Amino acid sequence: MDLLLQLMMNGLVNGSHYALLGIGFGLIFATTKLVHFAYGPIYAATAYVCWYSFMQLGLPFWAAFGLCVIAAIVLGLLSYLIVYRPLQSRSDSGLVTLIASLGLYTVIENLLGVIFGTGVKSVQGIDSDVFFLGPVFVTSFQLMQIAALILVGGALALFLRFTRYGQAIMAMTDNAEMAQIVGIDTRFVALLVFAIGSAIAAVPAVLILLKDSAGTHMGFSAVFLAFLSVVVGGIGSLRGAVAGGFLIGFVESAGLWQISTDWQSSIAFIILFLMLMLRPDGLFGVKR
- Burial (CB count <10 Å: 0-12, 13-18, 19+), residue 33: middle
Which stretch, 63-71, 145-153, 227-235, 241-249, contacts another protein (CB under 8 A)? 227-235
Residue placing its CB nearer to another protein in the complex, 46 or 97: 97
Alpha helices in 234-263 (DSSP H): 238-258
Give the footprint of another protein on residues 230-259 (CB under 8 A): 231, 235
The dihedral of CA 236, 240, 245, 251: what is its sign?
Answer: negative
Q: Which of 2, 62, 114, 181 binds another protein (CB under 8 A)?
A: 114
- Give the footprint of another protein on residues 20-59 (CB under 8 A): 35
41 Cα distance to chain centroid: 11
Closest CA to 225 of 268, 281, 172, 191: 268
String marking each residue 202-221 x if it binds another protein according to CB under 8 A: ------------------x-
Residues 156-195 within binding reach of another protein (CB under 8 A): none
Largest interatomic CA distance in the chain: 58
Helix H or strand E segment including 130: strand 130-133
Cβ distance to another protein smaller for residue 21 or 268: 268
Measured from the CB atom, the residue of 56 and 110 that comes closer to another protein is: 110
- Choice between 102 and 158, CB closer to another protein: 102
Q: For residue 18, give the nearest of 193, 182, 271, 243 by alpha carbon.
A: 243
Cα distance between residue 71 and residue 68, in whole Å:
5
Residue 67 engages another protein in binding (rule: CB under 8 A): no
Site residues (vs another protein, CB under 8 A): 35, 83, 86-87, 90, 94-96, 98-100, 102-107, 109-111, 113-114, 118, 220, 224, 227-228, 231, 235, 260, 262-263, 265-266, 268-269, 272-273, 276-277, 280
